[in-house]
Homo-oligomer: A and B are copies of this chain.
Amino acid sequence: MNQAPFVPVIPAGGSGTRLWPLSRPERPKFLLDLTGSGRSLLQQTLDRLAPIAEAPPLVVTGAAHAAAVRDQLEGTGARVLVEPSPRNSMPAIALAAAVAEREHPGAVIGSFAADHLVADVPALHAAIAAARAAAAQGYLVTLGIRPTAPATGFGYIERADGADRADRAEGTDGAVGEQARGDLSGTGAEPVAAFVEKPDRARAEEFLAGGRHLWNAGMFVVRAAVLLEELAAELPPLAAGAREIAAALGTEHEEEAVARLWPTLTRIAIDHALAEPLAARGRVAVVPVDLGWDDVGDFRALARQLRAPGAGPAVRTVEGRAGDAEAVDVRVLGAGPVDALDARATVYGSTHRRIALVGVDGISVVDTEDVLLVIADERAQDLAALVAALPPAPR
C-alpha cells in the first residue's frame, strides 16, 4: 500500500427530481441502472474507482437509503457511512475525510458523485494520478471537464492564465504553513482562478469559445488532512465535529457522539465551504479532462446516453416494420413490448405493459406503476418545475 493511500469517497445523496418518476425520494437516481448496463450508477461509480483504491471506498449516504446502498455494495469492499440527516455535502465529505485520515494517515481522498457517468475510465485513472501528484503539493485538486457545449446547467472552473498563475504563486506561497502549496509543474494540474456560478447562455457561449473555463463536475482529490485543516480554518466547529464523530465510530461512544454532534454541523456545500474560499487564495488546482463525462441530469441527457454506442446491453432498439425502418428510432429500457410507427422516442418501461407510439418525435415516455410521464426531450430541464408543483404524497 502507498504511504499516502488513495481513498475514494462517494457522497450518495440527492433525489434528482429531473428524472422523476424514475427517481423518487425513496429510490434516488444513484440507486438506478439508467443505462441498461446491469449496474446502478452508484455501482458503476465504485466499479470505476475500485481498481485504483488503496483502502476501502467510503460511501456516505442518508439513513433512508443506507439499507439499499449496503445491498448494492455487497461484495465491493466499500464501507457505508450513514448521515443521520441530510446536511449538504461538506459535513458528509468532512466525515469521510476524518475517517480516512484517522485510519490511513496521510490518505488522499478522491470524491466523486454517485450518479454520474464516465465513459473513458483509463482517462479518469490518469487524471486522478495527476491530481494525486498535485494534491501531494497541498492543493485541493478538481478535475475540470472540457466543455463540449455551452451548457448553462453547470458551474464552471476558471483556469488561471499564465500571469495569474505567477502572481498568485508569489502572493500566497507559504501563507498556510506546512501545508503550503507547492509546484504544479509536471503534475498535469494547473492553478484555478475562480469557481463560476451557472452562466446564462451568452456567457456559456463565451466560456466555450474562450477555452479557459471547464465544467465543474464536483470531482476533487485532496489530502484528507489538508481538507480538514482548511476546513478548520473556515468552519472550526464543523471540522472538529467531523473529527470527533470519526474518532467515535466503532466505539461505545459512536451512537452518542453522532446523535450529539451531527445535528450541529453546518449545512453547507463543499463548493461554498471550501472550494471557493481556497480558489480565492490560489490553493485550488485543476486537471483538465476529457472523460466522456455526463451527469445524466435530465431525460434529454439520458436519451443521449441510450442512443450512444456504449449504451448497456439491456437497451433495446425498436425495429420499424419492413419498408419504413428509417422512420422508427426508438430506444427502450425496460421489459415490456414496444411498437412504433414513424416515431423517434425513448421509452422507460417498468410495468411490462405494451407501449405503442405513433408519429411522435423527440419525446421520452416513462411508464411506472403509479406515474406516467410524457416529456419533450427539449423541455427536459422544465420537469423539475412540474415535480415541484406536485402534491407531496404521490411522488
Chain A positions within 8 Å of B, measured between CB atoms, are: 21, 321, 337, 339-342, 345, 353-361, 363, 365, 367, 369-376, 378-380, 382-383, 385-386, 389-390, 394
Whether B394 and A354, one on each chain, are in contact in the complex, defined by CB atoms closer than 8 angstroms, is: yes
Q: How far does the alpha carbon of A361 sit from the alpha carbon of B363 in the complex, in Å?
A: 11
Contacts of A359 in B (CB 8 A): 375-376, 378-379, 382
Number of copies: 2
- Name, among A345, A365, A372, A378, the residue most crowded by chain B CB atoms within 10 Å (CB to CB): A372
Nearest Cβ distance between residue A20 and chain B, in whole angstroms? 8
Whether B382 and A342, one on each chain, are in contact in the complex, defined by CB atoms closer than 8 angstroms, is: yes
Q: How far does the alpha carbon of A382 sit from the alpha carbon of B357 in the complex, in Å?
A: 11
Q: How far does the alpha carbon of A358 sit from the alpha carbon of B385 in the complex, in Å?
A: 10
Q: How far does the alpha carbon of A374 sit from the alpha carbon of B367 in the complex, in Å?
A: 11
Nearest Cβ distance between residue A129 and chain B, in whole angstroms? 42
CB contact under 8 A between A374 and B382, given known A321-B389, A394-B354: no
Contacts of A375 in B (CB 8 A): 356-360
Q: How far does the alpha carbon of A341 sit from the alpha carbon of B378 in the complex, in Å?
A: 13
Whether B358 and A379, one on each chain, are in contact in the complex, defined by CB atoms closer than 8 angstroms, is: yes
30 A-B contact pairs sorted by A residue (CB < 8 Å) = A337-B394, A339-B386, A341-B383, A341-B385, A341-B386, A342-B379, A345-B374, A353-B372, A354-B370, A354-B372, A354-B390, A355-B371, A355-B372, A355-B373, A356-B371, A356-B373, A356-B374, A356-B386, A357-B373, A357-B375, A358-B374, A358-B380, A359-B378, A359-B379, A360-B363, A360-B374, A361-B376, A365-B372, A365-B374, A367-B372
Contacts of A386 in B (CB 8 A): 339-341, 356, 358
Q: How far does the alpha carbon of A163 sit from the alpha carbon of B280 in the complex, in Å?
A: 96
From B340, B356, B371, B382, contact of A372 by CB (8 A): B356
Whether B371 and A383, one on each chain, are in contact in the complex, defined by CB atoms closer than 8 angstroms, is: no
Whether B356 and A369, one on each chain, are in contact in the complex, defined by CB atoms closer than 8 angstroms, is: no
Q: How far does the alpha carbon of A390 sit from the alpha carbon of B356 in the complex, in Å?
A: 10
Q: How far does the alpha carbon of A373 sit from the alpha carbon of B21 in the complex, in Å?
A: 18
Whether A370 and B358, one on each chain, are in contact in the complex, defined by CB atoms closer than 8 angstroms, is: no
Q: How far does the alpha carbon of A385 sit from the alpha carbon of B339 in the complex, in Å?
A: 11
Whether A382 and B337, one on each chain, are in contact in the complex, defined by CB atoms closer than 8 angstroms, is: no
Nearest Cβ distance between residue A249 and chain B, in whole angstroms? 41
Whether A358 and B376, one on each chain, are in contact in the complex, defined by CB atoms closer than 8 angstroms, is: yes
* Nearest-neighbor residue (CB-CB) of A322 within chain B: B389
Nearest Cβ distance between residue A334 and chain B, in whole angstroms? 11
Contacts of A353 in B (CB 8 A): 369-372
Nearest Cβ distance between residue A86 and chain B, in whole angstroms? 25
* Nearest-neighbor residue (CB-CB) of A358 within chain B: B375
* Nearest-neighbor residue (CB-CB) of A324 within chain B: B385
Contacts of A389 in B (CB 8 A): 321, 339
Q: How far does the alpha carbon of A373 sit from the alpha carbon of B386 in the complex, in Å?
A: 22
Q: How far does the alpha carbon of A9 sit from the alpha carbon of B375 in the complex, in Å?
A: 46
Q: How far does the alpha carbon of A374 sit from the alpha carbon of B21 in the complex, in Å?
A: 17
Nearest Cβ distance between residue A12 and chain B, in whole angstroms? 26
Q: How far does the alpha carbon of A359 sit from the alpha carbon of B356 in the complex, in Å?
A: 19
Nearest Cβ distance between residue A256 and chain B, in whole angstroms? 43
Contacts of A337 in B (CB 8 A): 394
Nearest Cβ distance between residue A297 and chain B, in whole angstroms? 15
* Nearest-neighbor residue (CB-CB) of A390 within chain B: B339
Given A365-B374, A372-B372, 9 other A-B residues pairs in contact with their CB atoms under 8 A: A341-B383, A341-B386, A356-B372, A356-B374, A356-B375, A357-B375, A358-B376, A358-B383, A365-B372
Nearest Cβ distance between residue A319 and chain B, in whole angstroms? 11
Contacts of A383 in B (CB 8 A): 341, 358
